[in-house]
Amino acid sequence: MKRTPPKSSPGGTQAAAPQPLGALRDVVATVRGRPLPAPAFHADAHLERDLGLDSLARMELFSRLEERFGVKIGTARAARIETVRELLEALAQPDAPAGETFRGSLELPEPSACAAPPSAQTLIEVLDWHARHQGERLHLRVLADDTAAIDVTYARLWNGARRVASQLVMRGVRPGSAVALMLPTAVEYFPVFFGAMLAGGFAVPLYPPVRSSQIEEHLRRQRSILRNCEARVLVASPEVRRAALWLRDAVPSLELLTDPRTLLQDAPEAGLPAPPRADDLAMLQYTSGSTGEPKGVELTHRNLLANIRAMAASVGASPSDVMVSWLPLYHDMGLIGAWFGSLCQAVPFVVMSPLAFLGRPSRWLWAIHHHRGTLSAGPNFAFELCLRRVTDGEIEGLDLSSLRMLFNGAEPVLPSTLERFHARFARYGLRREALAPVYGLAECCVGLSFPPPGRGPVLDRVRRESLERHGRAEPAPEDTPRAAVFVGCGRPLPGHEIRIVDGRGREVPERTEGRIQFRGPSCTRGYYRNPEATRALFDGAWLESGDRGYVAGGELFVTGRAKDLVIRAGRNIHPQEIEDVVGELPGLRKGCVVAFGVLDEAEGTEKLVVVAETRETDPVALEGLREAVARAVAARLELPPDEVVLVPPHSVLKTSSGKLRRDATRRLYLEGTLGRARSVRAQLLRLALASAGSGLRRRLREAAATAWGLWAWGWFGVLALPVGLSAFLVPTERARRRVLRAAFAAFRAVTGLRVALSCPNRPPDSSRPCVFVANHASYADGIVLAGMLPWPFAFVAKTELRDAPFVGRMLERIGTIFVERRGNDAARAREEAVAALRQGRSLLFFPEGTFDRAPELLPFRMGAFLAAAEVGVPVVPVAVRGTRDLLRAYDWLLRRTPIAVTVGPPLEPAGGGDTWSRALQLRDCARAWIASQ
């Protein structure tokens, strides 16, 4: 981009000539999106209070000024500017010419790095291992500003952490102490964090104040966190530390206020406590979500390493990757996902300040370019910011082809954002396959579900009417009007599980919307010193996410927050979609729109209220904006909002991480702050009636599902009697199987259970024996296959079933072969299977050997394929769908759901090679075919 060079100052230094107020006012008006009255703009006007420029708007203002006047206002200096006068001074005496960016590349020493071994059970052990085995290898590069960077090796970080730990121990920190960190992204942050853990404490990352004028207000907001965690130490920048002296009285546990420079000074190494253990608390991640008071999520070393290693396995992270991040280190996505994940896998970590990104989003893209970043991440708003603020001139020559995964998470992922981001940056080498929507939450450290590498986003179009009225995500064709589109967030991380439950906590079938619950080794044990919130978090062994969604094909689709649903005239409306549409309208502040429902006294149902921030004050213009909002919402939902409330900037409440606090904003609306005052008692009554109405409908649906399950079990018991008698009275095995098939047909008829059998390929030759192999999802699989497959076969089952009362005897009478799966008995089992095949009998195996509630294929055992390869008979893969929802593991209630049985093509053993090689080929081909179904 061509820039105007700055003029020389009388003193000989390069500086921009002071610009008249009129020129500066034009730039401010452009950022505001409307003209600014001349009397309101003067040298002493406050950028935020008088001109309504929040943090993002201020960063945009500085960026536009740099571009227009060819100057640079450094990130640190920009954070201190409060008034127009200070802004004029910065333009007159800029930091350096704008447009310079750090262009260094990563040069890694030989030999190549290795990830920390699985034997490391704490973060301390991980860093210690790196420092001892590859101490001089680059661990992280901190981009201090646009022209410089600071490199930190593993050894340097370890040594710095030991100095900090010694200083903390000398100052009275004891094992179990909370060490609060209120620090910006800088090189000092990293040793202080590890020093807190080395000293025996646990870290409590807090977000720092953006500007010096906010320090006192900011500290007052953080006071409740410091009290809850009983912080012994607060580590902050010197200016924050001086302002925080009054906290000693407000937080009784606080004994030490210090700063990183003091802690990093050389000191005699104090006797450090014993290293932490895997189940010791490593940190508290405070999160308010959108639900009110902050809660401290307890995360142990075991939790963190389980999450980091599961994410690494999902994305295939290795030391050959490079992670580039601007995410704040007080937030789990930047701290755990980016830094800790890089540390554990020996991935070089390139990090910049969030303010640097907000000031010029192209810095993020250029950092990926210069360092050949392969991994990076950001919330959805970051992608939108790049779309709005990055100009073509800023990124001429940009190359994003090194990216193999660009994660989008931490807030709702919008389909339109993904598509527009790829369309914009595809010509700069960004592959669509690199875009990776993910889902996670602090209660699971950070990550919970990830897509496979190289797949790209999966968008699901569903019929809006079915989802809103019945909670069913029915697929919709491309030409379906008003279809809702949701983004797939992948599958659960290895070792983790996700389930969707209804209002009574019962698991629902695929493509049914409900509450998202999860469990796994990354899960927190609860909220620190908050037993009431901890009890609300757990549902037995499962944790509540607070979000709603559905699963389709094993993929998680998040539809919104559980408590944010608007129920209007029987329709479930997700506010995120409304907020996205309204936020695109000119004159409104994107990301500062909330939609919620309140009970309409006249209609007896919830009315839809949209609150949007605007800087507009003219009454005529405001009325035009209200009409535009109503038209936009009606076009999307065929349902106009009942009320549009336009409010000044900063009226919509948000959490510290920028998420919308819908419920808190709704309370202000009900109190009259955002709209007209209403009776609190009447509001509570109407809300209670609305809740009762929706609850009644939900309970009726649940009662119907339970009734069908009991009805189905009743008929199962009735029909089991003749089947059981036939096993002992009917003389031939073939006749017994006919009785079983007839009973299953009768069961389908009386219960309405839909089971479809298809054989799209060449069917197996019934005159020749074969080995059927089927996926295993439920105890119902055997009954469904025995009742549906028309070819004669014998089950191969584990010996444990032979000892089961009644069931074992029945299985014997229909020719089942019982096998032991381990040791020498496994070899004898294979011999039995081979003998049966040589006698002309077909066999049916479940090669997974067992099943789990998670919708995924388990590894296949080799027995079936070795037997087929040895005898030279084909393997016929069979895919069973729907039985997992019919009868889930650990849940004995039958649920009505369609079942499909698809028979694949016979797979002949290869002609050459030994038996093992032929069996491996059969296994891989069969598993691939079943997985494709």
Q: Mind listing the pLDDT tens digit for each residue in 554-573?
A: 899 999 876 666 766 555 67
Looking at residues 58-73, what average pLDDT do you find? 73
Q: Where are the beta strands (DSSP E) in 253-378?
A: 256-258, 281-287, 295-300, 323-325, 349-352, 375-378
The residues, any chain, with a CB within 8 Å of residue 602's CB and separated by 6 or more, are none
Name the least confident of 74-83, 177-186, 227-236, 279-288.
Answer: 74-83
Looking at residue 681, its pLDDT comes to 45
Are the beta carbons of 295 and 529 closer than 8 angstroms?
no
768 to 18, 433, 765, 925: CA distances (angstroms): 93, 45, 6, 21
Burial group, residue 181, by CB count within 10 angstroms (0-12, 13-18, 19+) = buried
> Nearest-5° angle of CA 407, CA 412, CA 414?
80
> Nearest-5° angle of CA 499, CA 310, CA 133?
165
Task: Report the C-alpha dihedral over residues 178, 182, 188, 191, rounded to 10 degrees.
Answer: 20
The two tokens of residue 2 are 């061509």
The span from the CA of 196 to the CA of 640, in Å, is 54
Looking at residue 13, its pLDDT comes to 36
The span from the CA of 250 to the CA of 647, in Å, is 34
Q: Which of 581, 653, 647, 578 is nearest to 612 (CA)?
A: 647
The residues, any chain, with a CB within 8 Å of residue 98's CB and separated by 6 or more, are 3, 66, 67, 70, 71, 72
- Burial code of 662-700, b = ≥16 C-beta within 10 A, e = fewer? bbbbbbbbbeeebbeeeeeeebeebeeebeebbeeeeee
> Nearest-5° angle of CA 82, CA 83, CA 88?
115
Are the beta carbons of 491 and 449 closer than 8 angstroms?
yes
Biggest distance spanned by C-alpha atoms of the chain: 113
Looking at residue 444, its pLDDT comes to 96
- Burial code of 315-341, b = ≥16 C-beta within 10 A, e = fewer? bebebebbbbbbbbbbbbbbbbbbbbb
659 membership: H or E segment, kind and range: none
Beta-carbon neighbour count of residue 514 at 10 Å?
22
> Nearest-5° angle of CA 365, CA 371, CA 377?
50
Burial group, residue 644, by CB count within 10 angstroms (0-12, 13-18, 19+) = buried
Looking at residue 214, its pLDDT comes to 61
Q: Any idea which residue has 């081909």 for tokens?
A: 925
pLDDT grade, residue 485 (50/70/90)? very high
At 623 the three-state DSSP class reads helix
The rounded percent of the chain whose pLDDT value lies above 70 is: 80
Looking at residue 199, its pLDDT comes to 95
Q: Any idea which residue has 């991980």 for tokens?
A: 126
pLDDT tens per residue across span 38-52: 566 777 777 765 665
Residue 219 has pLDDT above 70, yes or no: yes
pLDDT grade, residue 9 (50/70/90)? very low
Q: Which of 21, 425, 348 is nearest to 153 (CA)?
A: 348
Residue 911 has pLDDT above 80, yes or no: no
The span from the CA of 770 to the CA of 872, in Å, is 9
Looking at residue 596, its pLDDT comes to 87
pLDDT tens per residue across span 814-832: 667 776 655 555 566 677 7
Gyration radius from the chain CA atoms? 32
Name the least confident of 287-296, 532-541, 750-759, 800-809.
Answer: 287-296
Comparison of pLDDT for 642 and 448, the residue scoring more:
448
Comparison of pLDDT for 577 and 456, the residue scoring more:
456
The two tokens of residue 581 are 């549409």
Please tell me the pTM assigned to this model: 0.69
Helix axes 781-788, 733-751, angle to 10 degrees: 110
The span from the CA of 526 to the CA of 838, in Å, is 58
Are the beta carbons of 405 and 347 closer than 8 angstroms?
no
Looking at residue 923, its pLDDT comes to 87
- Phi (first) and psi of residue 372, to 5 degrees: 50, 50
pLDDT grade, residue 473 (50/70/90)? very high
For residue 111, cis peptide bond before it (omega within 30 degrees of 0):
yes
The alpha-helical segments, DSSP class H, found in 286-340 are: 301-315, 332
pLDDT tens per residue across span 642-665: 889 999 888 888 875 677 888 778
Comparison of pLDDT for 32 and 254, the residue scoring more:
254
> Average pLDDT over the chain, rounded to whole?
82
38 to 28, 45, 587, 726: CA distances (angstroms): 12, 11, 20, 96
Residues linked to residue 81 through DSSP beta bridges, in sequence order: none
